[in-house]
């Protein structure tokens, strides 16, 4: 398939913001795509050459890409950087330079989807001495052969910054429309096999019947069952006939796959973290008496001296670490608290109740204290007993409790009424001041794309940073929303200094912020950081002097999990 056909679709998708129209555009492409090319085309529509759960990556940094564009255009890297700074999009820069280039290569071959896809996959395998130069050679060769518009999307694809707005829901609806199957059947198949390329091929060749035959594959992650939030513990335990209550651990939800001597470890977001957790694999080898399974648990970092759980941020250092793994294992030991099993000895357990799955889990797990354990489960409908369990969880610095319906089946990827309910303290929103930010790139080029938040230090009158936020502000204006463009106009007159993409502002604009929790953080001046902060509104009714103080953050930090 000619790459130019896919590129035309990319350009068309960029013209439309509506999901329905985007799905129609993708659907028409899928109808015309041969079955042999479907998997490649669908992955490339998402700007990828590997499924989302794969730990493989093309591995091309932006500076290497600048050199590739430089070589293809016949100008210096400094000139490319200069034009990139203006556009904020290296793909657009490559396109413009391609148009301006006077000398064109003769006898060049027309680019195909297969050539680009397979070539980029091979780049992921390139390593060792001279690997960066070999990557540079291949990408520059592609750009020399590419037409200007093709150059735009080659650069964006390699950098995984495609920006044509094709999310999973659009691909799902497009597959359904193209092959006359239901979106629900497509999505259910995808929950079990997170490769829409393969799902598209199955839908095209086998239809609904084929989609319903999709099964779990050990080694491919499964979207986990999600919990809904309950207003109170009382309402939660009254929601189900048979109740199991477990601590809501402040850790990382992991699923561990084993097939013989092969192991895979994934996060709830399908990140492959197998390399980061060799200790967890060893614990599973010794502590789980089965050869083929998929189990779920909460992994926590453990204090080496006290053996008490550490906040999630400590564990996140391990998740992000790709080098010096052995050193990290010693610095941040981990423990796995198991609570579910969804596949065992060749059998999917989705049709078994939680009570049945728990019984199977208890049969195969042989706990090792401080390494791999079964998460304690309290079975009661007594509010007093449940509340004592809840308070104990908070006193042990956990997030709260999970109240689970023991009669519920496991439905991957869904928040299911009648399934799991989470109960945790309600945290008040914070009023914070915008003290800095970074200039955006791509669709946010020309705007402040991320905001640095500050809390008030009443002793000094200064504002101490306590988190970065890029969520909740809109790219396009809707009724009642605040856009990046609007915020940027408000902030520009307040600029105190700029260094590369980073900006410091006069602390004047107060905004209301929601967040998941407050964590201790050496990254920020305040010593605290907001986890998943989200913009709610501009507080035009508040002056900076009325913003929340550092003491307020400390108070909430102490309250949220019974910390002292």
Domains and their CATH numbers in the chain = 3-158 (1.10.3260.10), 228-423 (3.30.470.30), 430-560 (2.40.50.140)
Average pLDDT of the segment spanning 244-259: 93
Range of lowest pLDDT (82-96, 306-320, 444-458): 306-320
DSSP state letter for 437: E
Among candidate residues 22, 135, 248, 335, the one labeled active-site is 248
Cα dihedral: 444, 270, 167, 477 (round 10): -40
**260 pLDDT more than 90:** yes
Q: CA nearest 381: which of 180, 237, 481, 202?
A: 237
Average pLDDT of the segment spanning 401-414: 92
User: Helix, strand or coil for residue 435?
Assistant: strand
Residue 562 confidence (pLDDT): 52
**pLDDT greater at residue 459 or residue 90:** 90
Residue 284 confidence (pLDDT): 97
Residue 479 confidence (pLDDT): 59
Taking only the tens place, the pLDDT of each residue in 332-360 is 899 999 999 999 999 999 999 999 999 99
Please state, for a pLDDT cut of 70, what percent of the chain lies above it. 97
Handedness of CA 432, 437, 442, 446 (dihedral sign): positive
What is the band of 366 on the pLDDT scale with cuts at 50, 70, 90? Answer: very high
Residue 458 confidence (pLDDT): 82
**105 pLDDT more than 60:** no
What is the band of 539 on the pLDDT scale with cuts at 50, 70, 90? Answer: confident
State pTM to two decimals: 0.72
Taking only the tens place, the pLDDT of each residue in 140-167 is 999 999 999 999 999 999 988 888 888 8
Tokens representing 291 are 């050869």
DSSP state letter for 2: B
Residue located via tokens 């507080």: 539
Give the integer Cα–Cα distance in Å for 415 and 440: 33
**416 pLDDT more than 80:** no
Residue 525 confidence (pLDDT): 94
**516 pLDDT more than 90:** no
Average pLDDT of the segment spanning 424-453: 88
The 3 state secondary structure assigned to 366-386 is CCECCCEEECCEECCCCHHHH
Is residue 248 annotated as a catalytic residue, yes or no?
yes
Q: CA nearest 370: which of 318, 328, 333?
A: 333
How far from each other are the two terminal CA atoms of the chain, in whole angstroms? 63
**375 pLDDT more than 80:** yes
Average pLDDT of the segment spanning 364-392: 95
Mean pLDDT: which of 288-292, 461-465, 511-515 is highest? 288-292
Average pLDDT of the segment spanning 498-510: 88
Give the integer Cα–Cα distance in Å for 363 and 174: 44
What is the band of 195 on the pLDDT scale with cuts at 50, 70, 90? Answer: confident
User: Helix, strand or coil for residue 183?
Assistant: helix
What is the band of 564 on the pLDDT scale with cuts at 50, 70, 90? Answer: very low
What is the band of 330 on the pLDDT scale with cuts at 50, 70, 90? Answer: confident
Please state, for a pLDDT cut of 90, what percent of the chain lies above it. 60
Average pLDDT of the segment spanning 234-249: 95
């Amino acid at each position: 398939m000619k790459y130019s056909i896919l590129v035309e679709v990319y350009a068309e998708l960029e013209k439309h913001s509506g999901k329905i129209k985007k799905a129609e555009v993708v659907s028409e492409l899928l109808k015309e795509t041969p079955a042999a090319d479907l998997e490649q085309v669908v992955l490339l529509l998402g700007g990828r050459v590997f499924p989302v759960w794969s730990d493989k990556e093309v591995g091309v940094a932006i500076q290497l890409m600048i050199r590739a564009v430089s070589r293809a255009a016949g100008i210096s890297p400094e000139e490319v950087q200069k034009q990139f700074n203006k556009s904020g999009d290296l793909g657009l820069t490559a396109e413009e330079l391609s148009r301006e280039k006077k000398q064109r290569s003769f006898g060049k071959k027309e680019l195909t989807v297969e050539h680009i896809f397979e070539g980029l996959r091979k780049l992921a395998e390139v390593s060792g001495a001279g690997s960066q130069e070999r990557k540079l050679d291949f990408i520059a060769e592609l750009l020399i052969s590419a037409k200007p518009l093709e150059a735009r999307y080659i650069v964006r694809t390699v950098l995984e910054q495609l920006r044509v707005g094709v999310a999973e829901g659009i691909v799902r609806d497009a597959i359904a429309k193209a092959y006359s199957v239901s979106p629900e059947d497509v999505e259910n198949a995808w929950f079990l096999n997170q490769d829409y390329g393969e799902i598209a091929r199955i839908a095209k060749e086998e239809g609904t019947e084929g989609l319903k035959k999709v099964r779990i594959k050990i080694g491919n992650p499964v979207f986990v069952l999600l919990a809904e939030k309950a207003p109170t513990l009382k309402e939660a335990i009254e929601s189900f006939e048979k109740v199991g209550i477990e601590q809501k651990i402040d850790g990382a939800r992991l699923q561990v796959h084993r097939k013989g001597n092969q192991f895979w470890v994934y996060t709830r977001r399908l990140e492959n973290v197998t390399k980061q957790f060799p200790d967890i694999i060893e614990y599973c080898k010794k502590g789980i008496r089965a050869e083929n399974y998929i189990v779920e648990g909460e992994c926590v970092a453990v204090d080496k001296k006290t053996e008490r759980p550490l906040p999630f941020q400590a564990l996140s250092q391990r998740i992000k670490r790709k080098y010096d793994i052995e050193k990290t294992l010693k610095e941040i030991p981990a423990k796995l608290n198991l609570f579910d099993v969804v596949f065992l000895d060749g059998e999917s357990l989705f049709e078994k109740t939680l009570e049945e799955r728990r019984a199977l889990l208890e049969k195969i797990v042989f706990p090792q204290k401080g390494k791999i354990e079964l998460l304690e489960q309290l079975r009661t409908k007594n509010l007093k007993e449940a509340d004592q369990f809840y308070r104990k969880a908070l006193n042990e610095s956990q997030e709260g409790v999970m109240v689970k319906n023991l009669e519920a089946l496991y439905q991957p990827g869904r928040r299911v009424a009648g399934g799991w309910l989470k109960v945790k303290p309600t945290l008040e929103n914070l009023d914070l001041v915008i003290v800095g930010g970074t200039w955006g790139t791509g669709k946010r080029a020309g705007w402040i794309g991320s905001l640095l938040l500050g809390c008030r230090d009443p002793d000094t009158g200064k504002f101490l940073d306590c988190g970065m936020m890029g969520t909740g502000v809109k790219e396009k204006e809707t009724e009642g929303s605040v856009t990046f463009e609007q915020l940027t106009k408000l902030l520009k007159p307040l600029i105190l200094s700029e260094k590369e993409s980073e900006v410091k502002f006069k602390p004047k604009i107060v905004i209301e912020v929601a967040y998941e929790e407050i964590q201790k953080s050496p990254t920020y001046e305040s010593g605290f950081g907001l986890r998943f902060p989200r913009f709610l509104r501009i507080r035009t009714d508040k002056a900076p002097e009325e913003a929340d103080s550092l003491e307020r953050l400390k108070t909430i930090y102490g309250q949220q999990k019974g910390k002292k």
